[in-house]
């Protein structure tokens, strides 16, 4: 990939450096979490060339959103309309197709956050500028204090810029994930992000989640960093307090979200509304007991035609480089419990339980997550023993 010297933009101020770090990490006086300063957006080289690959760290939620948009691009937007191409071929992009998809999808995400009126991208520049000193209020991280801010009011200009400087995001040890998150927050606005989270002066965007906060997911999906997943606005109050608005998802999402928090969890406030459960495309980010992935189907009619939902294929990919396929059957079931007919290992039988059976233990939470959308589905997984890996 060609590398062009970064020119233009305006340098970040000391006040902005403190503000962005406080908004994202909760503090500017201590160093940010290390994975954010050295995790780039890197495609897998181990067979699944459509997929991003990253360690199990706090950037995985953000990368799962990008992954969902990449899948949307490869399957639905990059497919020749006059040809019927099998999904296996659509999901084997060339290197040039990977590059094109990545800058296109990142541009789309940022442009949507700016309500299709503006976008802000921040990139580190080594051009000499007045230094932001290391003080008791600001701990230098060698990235934030070097940022230059670029503002766009046309999607074409944004795409040209992202294409030209994509290498800032894609180097293995680059802060690519952080630069995209910073750009998203800058585009939305610091005060707006804090208001979205309904946290006033306390709390921060990332929280302490192992693979990232849902606030990051909702920011990239809906343009608002809201913790509320219901449709529209609801007013919450009681006889002693005025009813206050809780802003959820205000419009139908192009990519959806499904959540399973585990047995015994309180799901009423965490379950997405129909605008996330029934997106424009049959692609959903999954949050299964705090771990992220993407499930998808290649038939756009799946969410438009009742008959298409009777029996269909789903594919599941995580940025941990796991790919699974399954059949979801919503026709009348003979099984009373509705569980998959796939054999599960008996923990009391050592012959049944082997190292490679670890995946089967993880299937049950994934099934339950899928049933938050298709509640009576019978799910049959398709995989070979030698391909089994830990899901999370």
Residues 240-278 have pLDDT tens digits of 778 888 899 999 989 999 999 876 655 445 789 999 999
Distance CA 266, CA 227 (A): 15
Q: What pLDDT does residue 343 have?
A: 43
Residues 48-57 have pLDDT tens digits of 999 999 989 9
Long-range contacts of 155-160 (CB under 8 A, 24+ apart): 155/107, 155/111, 155/116, 155/119, 158/107, 158/110, 158/111, 158/119, 158/121, 159/103, 159/104, 159/107
Q: Annotate 216-249 with DSSP letters as a single string.
A: HHHHHHHSS--S--SBSEEEEEETTEEEEEEE-B
Among the residue ranges 137-146, 164-173, 256-265, the one predicted with the least confidence is: 256-265
Which of helix, strand or coil describes residue 205? coil
For the chain, the structural domain boundaries read 1-223, 252-392
Residues 308-358 have pLDDT tens digits of 899 999 999 999 889 999 999 998 654 444 444 444 444 344 434 333 444
- Pairing mode, if any, of strands 241-247 and 147-152? unpaired
Q: Is 209 exposed, middle or buried (0-12, 13-18, 19+ CB in 10 A)?
A: middle
For residue 171, the 8-state DSSP code is S
According to DSSP H, which parts of the chain are helical? 14-25, 60-72, 87-90, 95-113, 155-164, 167-170, 176-188, 190-197, 214-222, 274-277, 358-370
Tokens of 167: 């290498």
**Cut 0.85: pTM above it:** yes
What number is the average pLDDT over the span 116-129?
Answer: 89
């Amino acid at each position: 990939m060609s590398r062009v010297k970064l020119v233009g933009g305006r340098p970040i101020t000391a006040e902005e450096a403190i503000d962005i770090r406080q908004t994202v990490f909760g503090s500017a006086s201590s160093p940010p979490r290390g994975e954010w300063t050295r995790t780039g957006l890197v495609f897998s080289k181990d067979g699944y060339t459509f997929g991003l690959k990253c360690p199990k760290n706090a950037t995985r939620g953000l990368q799962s959103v990008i992954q969902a948009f990449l899948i949307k691009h490869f399957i639905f937007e990059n497919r020749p309309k006059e040809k019927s191409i099998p999904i296996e071929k659509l999901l084997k992009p060339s290197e040039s197709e990977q590059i094109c998809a990545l800058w296109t999808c990142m541009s789309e995400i940022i442009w949507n956050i700016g309500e299709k009126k503006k976008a802000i991208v921040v990139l580190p520049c080594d051009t000499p500028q007045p230094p932001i000193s290391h003080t008791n209020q600001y701990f230098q991280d060698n990235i934030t204090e070097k940022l230059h801010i670029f503002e766009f009011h046309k999607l074409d200009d944004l795409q040209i810029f992202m294409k030209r400087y994509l290498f800032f995001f894609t180097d293995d040890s680059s802060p690519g994930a952080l630069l995209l998150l910073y750009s998203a927050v800058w585009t939305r606005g610091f005060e707006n992000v804090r208001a979205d989270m309904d946290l006033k002066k306390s709390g921060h965007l990332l929280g302490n989640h192992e693979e990232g906060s849902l606030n990051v997911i909702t920011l990239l999906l809906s343009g608002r960093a809201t913790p509320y997943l219901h449709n529209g606005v609801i007013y919450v109050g009681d006889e002693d307090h005025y009813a206050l608005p809780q802003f959820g998802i205000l419009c139908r999402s192009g990519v959806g979200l499904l959540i399973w928090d585990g047995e015994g969890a309180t799901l009423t406030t965490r379950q997405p509304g129909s605008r996330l459960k029934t997106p424009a495309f049959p692609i959903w980010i999954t949050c299964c007991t705090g771990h992220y992935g993407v499930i998808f189907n290649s038939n756009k009619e799946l969410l438009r035609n009742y008959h298409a939902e009777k029996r269909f294929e789903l594919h599941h990919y995580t940025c941990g480089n796991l790919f699974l396929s399954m059949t979801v059957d919503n026709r009348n079931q003979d099984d009373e419990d509705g569980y998959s007919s796939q054999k599960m290992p008996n923990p009391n039988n050592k012959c049944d339980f082997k190292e490679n059976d670890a995946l089967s233990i993880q299937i049950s939470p994934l099934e339950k997550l899928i049933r938050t959308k298709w509640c009576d589905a019978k799910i049959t997984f398709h995989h070979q023993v030698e391909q089994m890996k830990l899901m999370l």
